[in-house]
Structure 1
């Protein structure tokens, strides 16, 4: 049977569990028959209305938290594009037959995204398991046991929610420390020799998603030269930020004494072998010679820098790419390549948070970057950096850190 022969609308209505579809504004787009039956609502009372207009909190319960918890879960799905499973919830529902009378209900919700072609959330699948009957007593001598079980489960659900909140606060504190560490180590100056450079760093959304992205600009000894580098440490949180700081410092020192970017990355490769959390980190470094008008580069598994020429041609510097740091059994020479440019060109280095999206080929992100750079290349480094971030990053923020460096050549 092919897809054309399947009535998906009919399948949706016949699903045995309670399932509803919500828009990103939390308005009901549809609900299956089981959802309407179990909630005691008609289709006209649900579809086209806001979720919390249909199911508000019980106004007679000062401790009601179902609406707040459900809203937080749905917002997480919208921001991250990932499924979210909620703890057991008590969410009272007003009786459709007796207005003003609220039925005590227990729900186990799961919320999942439906993504559009651009990777953005276009619908939310809101699935609810009705577990009230498992908690309530079923009459007779089981009444007391049922009330005890109900109280215990409700207490455990409250305790779990409090534990989740404490964990959220702890992760938020770790995020703040990691961000402060990153900001302290990343250079704030925007002057690269006598040439202007724009630098941007955007942390990932979510309390757990601080990553190890970094950038660096170094004045080189001899001639009118600088080194510009970016890198990305695998992992999240404070440990990734610490590893990032060590690698950045090591590459900065190596670049000052190495005769080229390949040698500098070779030194960093050996150093990464003894740094906890540095395995499989990526980095790319460029040596810019403003007198000779050349960019020499070498990459350790990192997305390629972009050279936007004065005539509008966009060139990806991808002719010297090797595996990530500490990925090989032993030290081996790194490749390097060189590209020439004319006055008025722009060099762009970035981390993968700028171009990578879930369920999307990386070439799509690279093409999007090339298009934005080509259209805004004459704007100057600062305006160009702002335009690129505005066009390429999702409106709610990316789930990975993003570092961006733009140098006017």
Structure 2
């Protein structure tokens, strides 16, 4: 039998287990079952899948057959170190016939008595997904057909893991966002609220958030923020910034001081992260809001029976973008009875076919005084309509209630 036919036969056997996955099996179980079949087909003693973790530039044992303790013990291999690390670094098959501490980082492999190993990279598109390797306690030569079969299998498994990872990322991001965005808007005497959050049709869930919280002295904290990037990483950073801002808000009287502390925290602990944030404090009399902008777009204010206007609030540098401590400013704005203040993220006003300032002017025209939830509905109809937003959209409308005469 020729090598090419031999490889074809083996691939057909592998396709049997990959092509008809058991619906009740999770990804790790499905991979373990595939690896058990791989051991039989290639007549090897061990088979392992290590997943790549970009944040730590390391490979982590995810599924194994014949050497399950790799997974149980949480084996980790830095990219570029040892056998699997070399496969990941070079993104090319590697055959090893000398296995000890000089060639392999994971001691379990030489303790298992392996004498020959073959490893291939798992790549989906341009992304490194992991490494697939097999080992034999008998010394053997891996043929070109076997290397080709392993690489084809690795490519299939990489796509399977990538799809699962994307779904896991989206599910985790949705759960995290649901837990961090207010489940209901608070009841605050003298104020009424409306809000919307819609994930981007193209970018998916990201780091947009809004927040309302009570402060000592019957004051109210108001936040609208937007972390750069999308997916779980942006949502996690958003969660940490949200929690830090709340903590600083309890200790600081002015919004600019809160944002200065948040900026310092981000620069120290969130290297590479950037966010725009609007933070305001509404006083106990509900007559004013003290507002500071960290690179965020200005809110829109509308008086009863008047046109909406973009507020003239000076923007300071975004959070996490600056070195040192830039001077931040707070602007005090009047909240007249019946007026509405609308905060938003750039997904509401940015489009590929128009400058952002055009969208901001359109938003100002769309905001009208009235019930805040109705205001949000009107704004979403005018700005989004029947075209899905390309980026995340967060919108928060605040209305100072009109107190009846003698009330």
TM-score of the two chains, using structure 2 as the length reference: 0.57
Q: Which residue of 1 aligns with 2:398?
A: 407
**Contact conserved, 1:192 with 1:218, CA < 8 A, in 2?**
no
Matches within 5 A, 1:330-345: 330-345=324-339
Deviation of 1:284 after TM superposition, in Å, equals 0.6
> Structure 2: how far apart are the matches of 1:161 and 1:360?
42
**Contact conserved, 1:344 with 1:408, CA < 8 A, in 2?**
yes
Deviation of 1:261 after TM superposition, in Å, equals 1.0
> Structure 2: how far apart are the matches of 1:312 and 1:363?
21
> Structure 1: how far apart are the matches of 2:252 and 2:187?
19
Q: Which residue of 2 aligns with 1:34?
A: none
Deviation of 1:212 after TM superposition, in Å, equals 0.5
Is 2:193 the counterpart of 1:202?
A: no
> Structure 1: how far apart are the matches of 2:297 and 2:390?
17
> Structure 2: how far apart are the matches of 1:307 and 1:236?
29
Deviation of 1:168 after TM superposition, in Å, equals 4.0
Q: 1:245 aligns with which of 239, 248, 258?
A: 239
Deviation of 1:318 after TM superposition, in Å, equals 3.3
Is 2:224 the counterpart of 1:230?
A: yes
SS in 2 for 1:405: strand
Deviation of 1:394 after TM superposition, in Å, equals 5.5
**Contact conserved, 2:267 with 2:323, CA < 8 A, in 1?**
no
Is 2:210 the counterpart of 1:219?
A: no
Is 2:299 the counterpart of 1:296?
A: no
SS in 2 for 1:359: coil
1:284–1:402 CA distance, 2 compared to 1 (3 A): same
1:68-116 CA-to-partner distances (Å, cap 9, x unmatched) read xxxxxxxxxxxxxxxxxxxxxxxxxxxxxxxxxxxxxxxxxxxxxxxxx
Deviation of 1:196 after TM superposition, in Å, equals 2.1
**Contact conserved, 2:244 with 2:262, CA < 8 A, in 1?**
yes
> Structure 2: how far apart are the matches of 1:275 and 1:193?
34
1:216-255 CA-to-partner distances (Å, cap 9, x unmatched) read 1011211x42111111111111111000001011111212
Is 2:180 the counterpart of 1:185?
A: yes
1:163-200 CA-to-partner distances (Å, cap 9, x unmatched) read 66763443133112101101101112212522221122
SS in 2 for 1:324: coil
> Structure 2: how far apart are the matches of 1:167 and 1:402?
27
The aligned length equals 251
Q: Which residue of 2 aligns with 1:55?
A: none
RMSD: 2.6
**Contact conserved, 2:255 with 2:290, CA < 8 A, in 1?**
yes
**Contact conserved, 1:243 with 1:275, CA < 8 A, in 2?**
no
Deviation of 1:289 after TM superposition, in Å, equals 2.0
> Structure 2: how far apart are the matches of 1:363 and 1:308?
18
Gap regions ≥5 residues in structure 2: 1-147, 401-407
Is 2:374 the counterpart of 1:383?
A: yes
Q: 2:263 aligns with which of 265, 269, 276?
A: 269
> Structure 2: how far apart are the matches of 1:392 and 1:165?
38
Matches within 5 A, 1:20-99: none
SS in 1 for 2:313: coil
TM-score of the two chains, using structure 1 as the length reference: 0.56
**Contact conserved, 1:193 with 1:225, CA < 8 A, in 2?**
no
**Contact conserved, 2:308 with 2:366, CA < 8 A, in 1?**
no
Q: 1:312 aligns with which of 306, 312, 336?
A: 306
Q: Which residue of 2 aligns with 1:256?
A: 250
> Structure 2: how far apart are the matches of 1:399 and 1:168?
22
Q: Which residue of 1 aligns with 2:357?
A: 363
1:311–1:271 CA distance, 2 compared to 1 (3 A): same
